Amino acid sequence: MRIVLSLLILIYSSAVFSAVTISQSFKVEHQVKLSYTLSKYASLNELLAAPVEWHSSTQVPTGLRPVAKYLWLKIVLHNTKNSLTPVLVSINNNLIDAVTAYHVRPNHPIFSLDMGDALPLIKRPLKYESLVVPLELQPQTQSHLYLQISDEGVITAPLAIWEPNEYLQFKGKFNLIFGILAGFVLALALTNATLYCVTKKGYFLCATLFIATVWLFNAHIYGFGYRYFYSSWQWFQQYGQGMMTLLLSALLLPALSYCSGKPLLAHPQLTKRKAILAILCLFLLVAFLPVSQSLLLALSISFIVSVLIIYTLARVNHKSRNILIAIALCHFIVISYPFTVELGVQSGSFLNHLGYFGIFAVEATLLSYLLIRLYIFQRDEKLAKQQQRLAHTQAEDALLKEKLKLQEQAQYDLESSIEERTFELQVTLRELEDKNQELERMNMEDPLTKVKNRRYFDKRLQMEARRSRREQTVLSLVIFDIDHFKKINDKYGHLAGDQAICEFANLIKSHLRRPHDEVFRYGGEEFILLLPNTPEEGAVGVAERLRVATADLNIKFGEDTLKLTTSAGVYSAVVSDPHNPQLYTDNADKALYQAKQQGRNRVVTFKPNQEN
């Protein structure tokens, strides 16, 4: 009897409803043609036996909230292939309470499958975090898929039909990106936990709890938490989203208060004990309400809190106000999206893409950055106060003439300690600069000669100028220019010119003996040699050896042999104004100009009388 009834329904549906065609080229269909109805009938037999009004659509409409009814979806599948074809029907919302799928095929028993958030993972036929219905379509036949969906809140059930291999490729990429984001967020949580253990600062503990909750929240809503962590804890699977939504807002508020330097949403009548008591009461209320009301209450409170935080931060005069507002806006987005879906304002699931998790990752990153910067500022401020107290103590000790010797010894010890700290700080800064230079190597290296470019030279010159001023050592600068380089380009071509520039650069590098000596391509055929802690005689000696080596250099280009000469300008001095390192390049360039004027192929040092 059921088979006859199924055949009648198939014949009727084929004349009324549009079918999803499964052809040879079929990969995926996101705009699934379906029909839906709200019915009190819980079984397929009762539904098929009763007169039901079906409505055609391409997705489940917005704002459907069945009360004492079931949402039934009907999808007509037409397999045009000549072979048995497997397909997967995915429901891109892991948080639906219950889904029962019925596959009605001609001359076959009805296949049924139970899924949903309210069903323990161990009882699900497919132990998978996503809601997927596997189907086998008979060749050259038309079949029907009925989906009975039950949920206490607004139903959001975006559907897609996949070819199995295409779905596996999609899930592989999806899970890979999710794993990267989850690993990044977990690393942020562990970083803040480590900083808390080292510094004992409360805001790092608050950030650790917030970011850890972000990690668990996204694992929960994307289905991985229920699959891997608490598969037998059904209550948390249903109430976890509301509980963690409320917890995120409760943890973000003190974290942003630390960053802004003032308590947010504070009130004279609201003490810390009362605030904690109110939060605990809200958690208890969320835990004991029905699931749909619990989630709606948690989202409503979090939405109001996020709006108030944005309003308060917009009125705060703080140097990091823009970053604070960006964090609050990120939180507003991740709260308002599911809130509007739960209200039925918009349809579509935010769980079929990872942009939602990405916004959480941006929020966690900005928060960690602000807290680290806050700690650095507090540490520097504390150090400044300690130095002020130390100076005051020294001034008082200076008035005690009878203890002059002890005071001098104490002052000597203090200066030694400060010098050690300064040296350690310089070493640390140099290590950081080395790491930054390694990261920016591709942007600071000349692509032709593989030596550092002018951009890196400007930074290096600034650093060496400060060192020369601090240590009172001579800094030497040599500018080389290949003589008559334009003639080489005109006669042999630009490829020969490029080869000549590379050979000249390699020649300069081969003559460098110390780690801190470095060559830079300044532009065109000009190169700069930076020689820290080198007197003028040493710089002139290096330049002269390079000049002689250049004249002896034979460059093979095809059947031709290129000969080069070079002119060099040298400037050496102890830096007196580290804020004007351009003076070095100007004076060395003047010396180079003199070398060109005097006939090229020579080394000229800058003298003060050359300025005019």
Decide if pLDDT at 56 tops 70: yes
136 is catalytic: no
Q: What is the structure's pLDDT at 210?
A: 92
Quick one: average pLDDT of 7-18?
A: 44
The predicted structure's pLDDT at residue 608: 73
Give the best-scoring range by mean pLDDT among 58-62, 66-70, 122-126, 511-515. 511-515
Task: Please give the mean pLDDT across all residues of the chain.
Answer: 83
440 is a domain residue: no
CB 345: neighbour CB atoms within 10 A?
Answer: 12
In sign, the C-alpha dihedral spanning 394, 395, 396, 401 is positive
- In the sheet that 131-137 helps form, which strands lie side by side, from edge to edge? 28-29, 159-162, 85-91, 131-137
**Range of the structural domain that residue 107 is part of:** 2-162
Instruction: Give dist(CA 46, CA 40) in Å, integer.
Output: 9
Q: What is the pLDDT of residue 610?
A: 53
Is residue 65 domain-shared with residue 199, that is, in the same domain? no
From 342, 464, 518, 525, the catalytic residue: 525
Query: For the residues 248-269, what does the mean pLDDT come to?
Result: 80
In this prediction, residue 270 carries a pLDDT of: 64
Q: Which of 112-121, 238-247, 535-544 has the lowest mean pLDDT?
A: 112-121
Co-location of 367 and 385 in the same domain: no
Looking at the structure, tell me whether residues 186 and 87 fall in a common domain.
no
Q: Supply the pTM of this predicted model.
A: 0.56
Classified as helix, coil or strand, 262 is coil
Domain termination site, one of 123, 141, 162: 162
d(CA 531, CA 519): 9
Q: Running DSSP on this structure, what letter comes out for residue 57? A: E
289 inside domain: yes
Residue 423 is encoded by which pair of tokens? 């040296």
The 10 Å Cβ neighbour count of residue 81 is 14
Alpha-helical (H) ranges within 493-581 are 494-510, 536-551
Asked whether residue 437 is assigned to any structural domain, the reply reads: no
Q: Per-residue pLDDT for 16 more than 50?
A: no
Q: What is the pLDDT of residue 3?
A: 43
Tell me, yes or no, whether 184 lies in a domain: yes
Helix (H, G, I), strand (E, B) or coil at 111: strand
Whether residues 515 and 388 share a domain: the answer is no
Residue 86 pLDDT greater than 50, yes or no: yes
Q: In this structure, is residue 111 part of a structural domain?
A: yes
CA 481-486-489 angle, to 5 degrees, is 120
Query: How far apart (Å, rounded) are the C-alpha atoms in residues 259 and 320?
Result: 8
pLDDT given for residue 152 in this prediction: 73
Residue 498: pLDDT over 80:
yes
Residue 206 makes CB contacts below 8 A (sequence gap 6+) with 251, 254, 255, 258
Q: How many structural domains compose the chain?
A: 4
Asked if residues 98 and 208 have their Cβ atoms less than 8 Å apart, the reply is: no
User: From CA 348, how far away is CA 338, in angstroms rounded?
Assistant: 10
Residue 126's pLDDT band (cuts 50, 70, 90): low
Q: Is the pLDDT of residue 252 over 50?
A: yes
Residue 12's pLDDT is 41
347 has pLDDT over 50:
yes
The answer to whether residues 80 and 115 belong to one domain is yes
Who wins on pLDDT, 342 or 147?
A: 147
Mean pLDDT of 233-257: 84
pLDDT band at 45 (very low <50, low <70, confident <90, very high): confident
What CA–CA distance (Å, rounded) separates 199 from 409?
Answer: 33
Per-residue confidence (pLDDT) for residue 17, from 0 to 100: 47
Overall average pLDDT of the 563-585 stretch: 89
Assess whether 260 and 387 both reside in one domain: no
User: Is 387 in the same domain as 323?
Assistant: no
Higher pLDDT residue, 76 or 295? 76
Residue 439 has a pLDDT of 73
Per-residue pLDDT tens for 148-165?
888 777 777 788 888 888
Tell whether the model's pLDDT for residue 1 goes beyond 50: no
- pLDDT tens for 350-372 read 566 788 888 899 999 999 998 99
Compute the average pLDDT of residues 101-121: 80
Q: What is the pLDDT of residue 11?
A: 41
Q: What is the pLDDT of residue 502?
A: 92
CA distances from 179 to 176, 225, 245, 413 (A): 5, 13, 21, 53
Shared-domain flag, residues 176 and 154: no
Do residues 188 and 151 share a domain? Answer: no
95 lies in a domain? yes
**Do 358 and 390 have their domain in common?**
no
Residue 134 has pLDDT above 50, yes or no: yes
Cα–Cα dist 312/328, whole Å: 10
Among candidate residues 355, 375, 395, the one where a domain is terminated: 375
Residue percentage of the chain with pLDDT more than 70: 90
- Asked whether residue 507 is domain-assigned, the answer is yes
Q: Please provide residue 345's backbone torsions phi and psi, each rounded to the nearest 5 degrees.
A: -75, -35
Tell me which of 87-96, 515-524, 575-584, 595-604 is least confident.
87-96
CA dihedral of residues 147, 150, 151, 156 (deg, nearest 10): 20
**Where is average pLDDT lowest: 137-146, 433-442, 466-475, 562-571?**
433-442
Whether 196 and 249 map to the same domain: the answer is yes
Q: How far apart are CA 482 and CA 489, in angstroms?
A: 12
**39 phi and psi angles, rounded to 5 deg:** -140, 150
Task: Report the CATH number that the domain containing residue 201 is assigned in CATH.
Answer: 1.20.1070
Inter-residue contact 87 to 22 (CB < 8 Å): yes
Do 245 and 366 belong to one domain? Answer: yes
For the chain, how big is the Rg over CA atoms in Å? Answer: 37
End-of-domain residue from the set 145, 162, 179: 162
Instruction: Average the pLDDT over 321-334 and give the result.
Output: 88
Say what the pLDDT of residue 298 is. 87
